Structure 1
Amino acid sequence: MKSTRFVFSRALAVLCALFFVSFSFMSCQQEDDDNELPSTLIGTWKSSHGEIFAITSTSLSNSGSWGDSYAGNNLLVSYTDDKETSGYIYIKYTRAINPENGAYSETAPDVGKWYAIAFKNLTSSSLSLSGAYKKDGITSTENLEDAISTFTSGNGYFDIYSECVKQ
C-alpha cells in the first residue's frame, strides 16, 4: 500500500510539473503574439516618387525603378502616439549601401547593424515613410538600443517623408 501511494504522489508531482512547464511555454508564446506587426502596416507601399516599400511581419525592403536598395529583418515597431498611426520601424540591415561604390549589397559595412524608418499618418490605405538620414549623421548602429536612442526626429534624422499608398 505504501508503494502505491508513493507511485501515485510521484506521478501527481510529475504531472503538475509538466502542467506548469506547458503553461509557461504558452505564456511566452502569447507574449510573442502581442508583439506582432499590425496588419495595417504590413503590405506593399508605393510612393509618388516610385519607391516601393515591402513590409512583412519579419522584413522590410526598399526598391524602385533604379533597382533594390536597402533591406532588413528583425523588425520592431515603436509607436509615438496612442492611436498607433506614427512611430519607428527598426530593422537589422540585410542589404545596405556600400559607401565605396554607392551600390547596395549584402556585404556592405552596415549589414548586420541596426537602422530605422519613421512612419506617420498610417491608415489602411496610406502612409508617410522616412528613412533615417542627416548630413554628417551615422547610417547604422551596432545594437537596437543605440538605434532607438539615435534615430529620432528630435535628433534630426527624419526631415523628408515619402507619401505612400498601399498596393
Structure 2
Amino acid sequence: MTYLVSLLLMALIVGLVAVASNPAPYFAAFGLVVAAGVGCGVLIGHGGSFLSLVLFLIYLGGMLVVFAYSAALAAEPFPESWGDRSVAGYVIIYLLGVGLVVGLFWENWYEGSWVVVDSLKEFSMLRGDTSGVAMMYSSGGGMLIICAWVLLLTLFVVLELTRGLGRGALRAV
C-alpha cells in the first residue's frame, strides 16, 4: 500500500509539473486531468473514497468546461508541446526544485504524515466520509443550492466572455 501511494504521489508531481511547464492550454488541460485523477487516487489510498469520487466528478464537470473555452480562445496553429526546448527547460527547472524540496525534508518524513485512516482497510467503501453525505444534504442543502447557482452564473460569465463580436458562443477559428 505504501508503494502504491508513493507511486501515485510521484505521478501527481509529474502531472503538476506538466501543468506548470506548458504554456499551451491543450496539453496543460491533459496534465490537469492526470493530476486530478492521481490526486483522487492518493485520497482513496488514505481513506477518502467517496470524497475523491465527488471531487473528481466536480472537477470533470466544472473545470474542464473552463479549459475548453480557454483552449478555444487561445487557438494557435502550432502550440508548444512537451518536446519543445523552452518547455523542456521549464520541466527541468521544476523537477530540480522538487528534488531540492525533497532533499530538505528527506529525514523522518514518514513518522508523522501520510497515515492511512480506518485501521489500514484500504479501498473500502465503508469509511467515515460516506457518513457525511446525509449531513451534507440535510444541513448543507441551502449551500448546495447556492453553489449550483454560482456555477450556473460562472458558466454564463464564461459564455459572455468568449462570445466574440456578437456572434454567440461559437467563435470562428
TM-score band by shorter chain is under 0.3
The structure, 1 or 2, with the larger RCO (C-alpha pairs under 8 Å, 6+ apart) is 2
Q: Which has a greater percent of helix?
A: 2
Q: TM-score, normalised by structure 2?
A: 0.22
Q: Which has a greater percent of strand?
A: 1
Q: TM-score, normalised by structure 1?
A: 0.23
